[in-house]
Amino acid sequence: MFENIKKQSILYIIDDNVSVCKSLEWMFDSIGFQTKTFNSAKHFLVEFNPNQIGCALVDVRMPGMSGLELQEEIHKRNILLPIIFMTGHADSELATQCKELGAFDFLEKPIDSKKLFISIENAINYHCGLINALDPAD
């Protein structure tokens, strides 16, 4: 799975729930996909590497900076990293709002792993394409 992309890309997992973070980390580790987990949006903003290809899996509802606020911040900073939202409180209004704000995808917890993998693959390909288009020499 993800054979052609997983070596060079990274998945950022941002969720205030530690056990959800750990389980996602373990699941992606089991398929050999590199992840980095953060329990708050702020930590993520400090530590992530904007030059690496990847995508962010973000919980909508977090104390402090929420998922939507994180997305806004990422846009403000002109970062192209695609964001996939996950939430336990899916409603169509929130999903629409996320997508309008530029979310790559919106998934409901517990997450359907097939949908998640497809979404991540698409997101990373999208990010790859974007980075190559902006900087073809790279």
Partner 1 sequence: MENSVSILVVDDLPENHVAMEAILSKFHQNIIFAHSGTQALRLILQHEFAVILLDVNMPGLNGLETARIIRSREKNNYTPIIFLTCLDRDQIDINEGYSIGAVDFIFKPINPIILSSKVKVFIDLFTKSTLAFKLQEELENRKKAEIQSINQKRQLDIAELNRFTAIKELTSAISHELTQPLTSISNYITGSLHLLSNPDFLKKDSLISALEIAKNETYRAGEILHRIKNFSRKKHIFFENVVLNNLIMNIVSLLEDRIKSNNININFTLCDKLNMPVLLDKIQIEQVMINLLKNSKEALINSKTKDPTIKIETLLTKSNKIIIEIKDNGPGIDASVLNNIFDLYVTTKEKGIGIGLAICRAAIEAHRGNIIATNNLNGGAIFKITLPLKVKEEVENV
Applying CB under 8 A, the residues found at the interface with partner 1 are: 1, 16-20, 22-24, 26-31, 39-40, 43, 61, 63-64, 86, 88-89, 109-111, 113
Instruction: CB nearer to partner 1: give 88 or 129.
Output: 88
> Which residues have a Cβ under 8 Å from the Cβ of 76 and sit 6 or more positions away?
none
113 versus 132: smaller Cβ distance to partner 1: 113
For residue 27, with 0-12 CB atoms within 10 Å meaning exposed, 13-18 middle and 19 or more buried, which class applies? middle
Q: How far is the CB of 81 from partner 1 (least distance, A)?
A: 22
In the bound state with partner 1, the residue whose beta carbon lies nearer, of 76 and 89, is 89
What is the DSSP secondary structure assignment for residue 77, as one 8-state letter?
T
Q: Looking at beta carbons, which pairs linking 72-78 to residues 24 or more positions away fall under 8 Å?
A: 72/101, 73/41, 73/45, 75/101, 75/102
Name which of 38 and 104 has its Cβ closer to partner 1. Answer: 38
Least Å from the CB of residue 125 to partner 1: 21
Rg of the Cα atoms in the chain = 14
Q: How far is the CB of 89 from partner 1 (least distance, A)?
A: 7
- Whole-number minimum distance, CB 42 to partner 1, in Å? 9
Encoded tokens for 75: 């846009």
Backbone φ, ψ for residue 35 (5° rounding)? -130, 165
